[in-house]
Chain A
Amino acid sequence: MHMPLEDTLGLNLLAANQQRAEHNREHFDAWNLLCLNVMSSPGAGKTSLLERSLAALSGRWAMAVLEGDMTTLLDAERLEAVGIPVVPITTGRACHLDAAMVSGGLKLLRQRLDPAALDILWVENVGNLVCPAEFAIGEHRKVALLSVTEGDDKPLKYPVMFREADCVLITKVDLLPHLPVDVERIEAHIRQVNPRCAVFRLSATSGEGFEAWHAWLDAQRQAVQTSPALLHA
């Protein structure tokens, strides 16, 4: 038996991850680079998006990728083929990247190059519409993808992911003529859970929509260059 005591903590359950994420972000700011956390369900087109954007932007920005995957190096190998430095992070059974995993990836990246020479660091998260939304990694911006083949109800079924996103990319729009899906309804559902995020419609196959997406990306890169603190909110 003991005298009952009670301590009030009021501490974030994910405080340990949050502290590590803030540490990562201090590095990103010191290196003056924009870090993007790219998230979606499996097969929504994250790697295809990166392939096209990396190829299109490599002349303008110096970039690298931290590639999260549960078991294989397949995506990392696809992106290496574009000629951009890629560090694979194999998560094993974990269904998301956390700040410690990204920190480990940064250590490996630093063995290959000076991160201060980079403009944009892409982090491709593990394909999952649930867990990655809760684990900060130190990113400046969260980018969520939703392919038209997933149906229009996903923003309502997985609202936390789309609420957390700064930008939502509706992908594979070249397939719209073949699908009984209403892209206006997809976008409306995104706006219902997150009226403030940027939304773009893309096709990595045809290139549709990439000009606007890259313009948004340029604006984020310029913002971090001008005042990284503004991106911390």
Chain B
Amino acid sequence: MHEVDMTRCLLLSMNEWKQQHAPRVPAVDRVHLEVGTFTCVEPDQLVVTWADAVKGSWLDGAELVIESVLLVGRCVRCQATYSPDPANGFRSPCCQHPMEEIVSGRELRIRSVAYGFETATTQPTAPCFTPAC
């Protein structure tokens, strides 16, 4: 359910980004996100929520592209990086040490926006969500 709130925050950031280009309105092709696997975000659900939220707005038709970032830990004993496995209790396979340091996997990041400007400007409409964050 919180993918709706994630989408709301994403739309707020996108609206702020749009203001940087005012008075022109960018035609957004794709929004690239980096989502770590050690987060509470389900990428497929986020894509569905996004597609629904942007309908009828200035972002209508913009594709949400999500790149998963794998969870990588670093063993504090031997400094080896590893892929923490829930089946192994997230411990380092080398020393069986608990997951102390996380190198990657906690990302929730808007990496980039691919866009352009149409020759004929269109009147933007408000996004579906009201700013609530």
Contact = CB atoms under 8 A, between A and B. Distances in A.
A5 B116 contact: yes
Interface string A1-25: 1111111111111111100100000
Interface in B41-98: 41, 86, 89-91, 98
Determine chain B's interface SS by DSSP, over half rule: mixed
A135 interface: yes
Given A5-B114, A17-B133, A192-B90, 10 more contacts: A4-B115, A5-B116, A9-B112, A13-B110, A15-B13, A16-B8, A134-B39, A156-B90, A193-B98, A193-B99
Interface of B: 1-2, 5-6, 8-10, 12-13, 17, 26-27, 29, 33, 35, 38-41, 86, 89-91, 98-100, 102, 108-119, 131-133
A13 B13 contact: yes
A146 B5 CA distance: 25
B111 to A, nearest CB: 7
Contact of B133 (A99, A159, A163): A99
Contact of A14 (B9, B99, B113): B9
A192 B2 contact: no
B90 A193 contact: yes
Among A2, A13, A96, A191, max chain B CB count under 10 A is at: A13
Contacts of A207: none
Q: Is the interface of A mostly helix, strand, loop or mixed?
A: mixed
18 contacts: A2-B27, A2-B117, A2-B119, A4-B114, A5-B116, A5-B117, A6-B114, A7-B113, A9-B112, A10-B110, A100-B133, A131-B1, A131-B2, A134-B39, A156-B86, A159-B38, A192-B98, A196-B100
Interface string A160-171: 100100000000
Contacts, number: 126
Contacts of A134: 2, 39-41, 108
B16 to A, nearest CB: 8
B46 to A, nearest CB: 9
B5 A135 contact: yes
Nearest to A4: B116
Interface in A100-126: 100
A16 B98 contact: no
Contacts of B110: 9-13
